[in-house]
């Protein structure tokens, strides 16, 4: 059974930090691309940060220099360190595990964790 579970969300003041964690089980984690998405009220879900199976990273422009994605294959976990948080970072953050390549690809999602940044 595949499970993707996020944790670490919460309420923080602007300028503060949070660290999100995502634990994945039931998948070949070491070959999965792992991603963090977020969805704010009334907005589409957007990709925030990505890390490939080889450790290459990419970030959405608005979080570059503030967020850091990392992974621990031994623990089957991925993390998102968020610093210098802004009210516009408020959203539900989702962990995504992406396996395979087009057209044989599969995505697994967590249930999401709320991040609220107060001004």
Q: Return per-residue pLDDT of the chain as tens, 119 residues.
A: 999 999 999 999 999 999 999 999 999 999 999 999 999 999 999 999 999 999 999 999 999 999 999 999 999 999 999 999 999 999 999 999 999 888 899 999 999 999 999 99
pLDDT, residue 42, reads 94
Q: Is the separation of the CB atoms in 94 and 36 below 8 Å?
A: yes
Q: Which residues contact 102 (CB under 8 A, 6 or more apart)?
A: none
pLDDT, residue 101, reads 86
pLDDT, residue 106, reads 94
- Of 60, 28, 33, 30, which Cα lies nearest the Cα of 44? 60
- Of 56, 51, 46, which Cα lies nearest the Cα of 35? 51
Q: Which residues contact 101 (CB under 8 A, 6 or more apart)?
A: none
């Amino acid at each position: 059974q595949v499970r993707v579970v996020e944790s670490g969300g919460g309420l923080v003041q602007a300028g503060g930090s949070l660290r999100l964690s995502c634990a994945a089980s039931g998948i070949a984690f070491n070959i999965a691309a792992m991603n963090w998405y977020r969805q704010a009220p009334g907005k589409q879900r957007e990709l925030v940060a990505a890390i490939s199976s080889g450790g290459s990273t990419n970030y959405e422009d608005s979080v570059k220099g503030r967020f850091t994605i990392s992974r621990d294959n031994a623990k089957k976990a991925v993390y998102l360190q968020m610093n210098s948080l802004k009210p516009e970072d408020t959203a539900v953050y989702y962990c995504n595990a992406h396996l395979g390549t087009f057209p044989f690809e599969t995505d697994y999602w967590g249930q999401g964790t709320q991040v609220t940044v107060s001004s």
